[in-house]
Amino acid sequence: MILLTFNISIPENNDKIKNNYSDNELILSIEKNTKIILLLLELHGFLATFFVEVSIANRVHKLLKTISLSGHEIALYNVNSDMETIVKTKQNLEETLEKPIRGMRQKSHRLPYSDIKKMEFIYVSNIEESTINFLWRKLTEKTEIYTENELTIVPESQSPYSQLPFNDYVLQMTPMKYYENMLLESLKREEYVMIYANAWQIYEKENLPFYLPFYKKMNLGRRFEDRLENLFQFIDEQEIAVSRMKDYLF
């Protein structure tokens, strides 16, 4: 089983938006990128989970409604918001979608599980920072699903074949044949693999509205779109099942 997940966000810790992008233009460009991912998913009949960053969720309700009506799951991605903001955003989104928001993703800024439980989430997707040094380190956390404070905790998946995580940067940079072998070897040993990518990876590097380190500017735009399409074709050819997070977990 593959759990396909996508972040709708601005790169974490990036507070330097380029001057030639207004706030409205930034949101419109994020929506455009996300719709490209939606189209690829629709072409293959895959359902995924989209984690929308708390700070922009209220500005993309129309997009999220489209995603939800297409059958995909909507969850929240907390970069650095406080509990009050998360609760209000969750409530607003649930009213708009007329569906409960079950999951929350977090990276470097992590809230205690007891607080997340109070906000009525039922699962947490923990991911780690995907920097260039991933080649020389393993993930620092468990890689199996576990329960804590009555929450289901879903860590990043890691390949036993290469010891690389199935994160955004590995998908962006690893040769596709090698990535496919990672995936097959992992599924021989594990019941599932969680893959995640970002809507901002669809930007062409010359059109990026924010600053990225040099190593994250490679294979963006159409090249990354082609990688997603190649991955989806491979999943189809291998007849691997794909699921939303909530369907697999519950």
- The Cα 170–Cα 227 span in angstroms is 11
pLDDT for the residue numbered 104 = 98
pLDDT above 90 (res 160): no
Express each pLDDT in 131-156 by its tens digit: 666 554 555 556 789 999 999 999 99
Express each pLDDT in 28-69 by its tens digit: 999 999 999 999 999 999 999 999 999 999 999 999 999 999
pLDDT for the residue numbered 42 = 97
What average pLDDT does this structure show over 211-231?
92
Q: What is the 3-state secondary structure (H, E, C) of the chain?
A: CEEEEEEECCCCCCCCECCCCCHHHHHHHHHHHHHHHHHHHHHHCCCCEEEEEHHHHCCCHHHHHHHHHCCCEEEEEECCCCHHHHHHHHHHHHHHHCCCCCEEEECCCCCCHHHHHHCCCCEEEECCCCCHHHHHCCCCCCCCCEEECCEEEECCCECCCCCCECCHHHHHHCCHHHHHHHHHHHHHHCCCEEEEEEHHHHCCHHHCCECCCHHHCCCCCHHHHHHHHHHHHHHHHCCCCEECHHHHHC
pLDDT above 70 (res 14): no
Tokens of 26: 């930034």
Express each pLDDT in 63-76 by its tens digit: 999 999 999 999 99
pLDDT for the residue numbered 61 = 95
137 versus 129: the higher-pLDDT residue is 129
pLDDT for the residue numbered 143 = 73
18 versus 179: the higher-pLDDT residue is 179
Please indicate, yes or no, whether the overall pTM of this predicted structure exceeds 0.85. yes
Mean pLDDT value across the chain: 91
What average pLDDT does this structure show over 103-129?
94
Tokens of 164: 């690389």
**Burial class, 104, CB count within 10 angstroms (exposed 0-12 / middle 13-18 / buried 19+):** buried
124 versus 18: the higher-pLDDT residue is 124
pLDDT for the residue numbered 216 = 86
pLDDT above 90 (res 115): yes
The confidence band for 16, taking pLDDT boundaries of 50, 70 and 90, is low
